[in-house]
């Protein structure tokens, strides 16, 4: 049996590669081509910055989230509108904005931040003003 160890290893690898090529990959390609991962919504992604009523509401909710994250000891002043706002599709937004932050030590700094936020109710925009219908996925740029 020790004589055939290398031969068995090579044959096993050949069988593994052949099954990967003939069985597993065709199945994966069929799953990818199916509608299993298709998200059908009216909101399409855009590579260009946008300015829509929903992106404005997303900006407002991001500002409220930033204020809550910084706490009551910090005074925050936000710009009137974001620097840029992009839609990532399916009611997900990436907001880039600036905030003027003043702490108790009287130090003032202007910070740029990015907020990724999702509207959870999809095409139904009736509850867009309620923060409970939004999810903040990430916030960056406010670290000291």
Q: In the chain, what are the domain boundaries?
A: 2-33, 53-140
Q: In Å, what is the CA distance from 10 to each residue of 25, 54, 60?
A: 21, 59, 62
* Torsion over CA: 97, 133, 138, 77 (sign): positive
Which run of H or of E encompasses 76?
Answer: strand 75-78
Kindly indicate whether the domain formed by 53-140 is annotated with CATH number 3.10.310.
no
Q: Looking at residue 126, what is its pLDDT?
A: 86
Residue 95 has pLDDT above 90, yes or no: yes
Cβ proximity of 116 and 93 under 8 Å? yes
- Which of helix, strand or coil describes residue 89? strand
pLDDT tens for each residue of 41-84: 777 777 888 888 899 999 999 999 999 988 888 889 999 999 99
């Amino acid at each position: 049996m020790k004589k055939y160890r290398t031969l068995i290893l090579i044959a096993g690898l050949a069988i593994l590669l052949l099954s990967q090529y003939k069985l597993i990959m065709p199945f994966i390609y069929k799953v990818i081509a199916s509608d299993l991962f298709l998200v059908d919504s009216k909101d399409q992604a855009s590579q260009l910055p946008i300015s829509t009523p929903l992106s404005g509401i997303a900006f407002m909710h991001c500002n409220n989230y930033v204020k809550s994250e910084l706490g009551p000891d910090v005074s925050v002043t936000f710009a009137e509108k974001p620097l840029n706002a992009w839609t990532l599709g399916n009611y997900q937004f990436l907001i880039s904005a600036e905030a003027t932050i003043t702490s108790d030590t009287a130090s003032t700094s202007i910070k740029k931040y990015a907020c990724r936020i999702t509207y959870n109710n999809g095409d139904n925009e009736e509850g867009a003003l309620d923060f409970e219908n939004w999810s903040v996925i990430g916030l960056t740029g406010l670290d000291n």
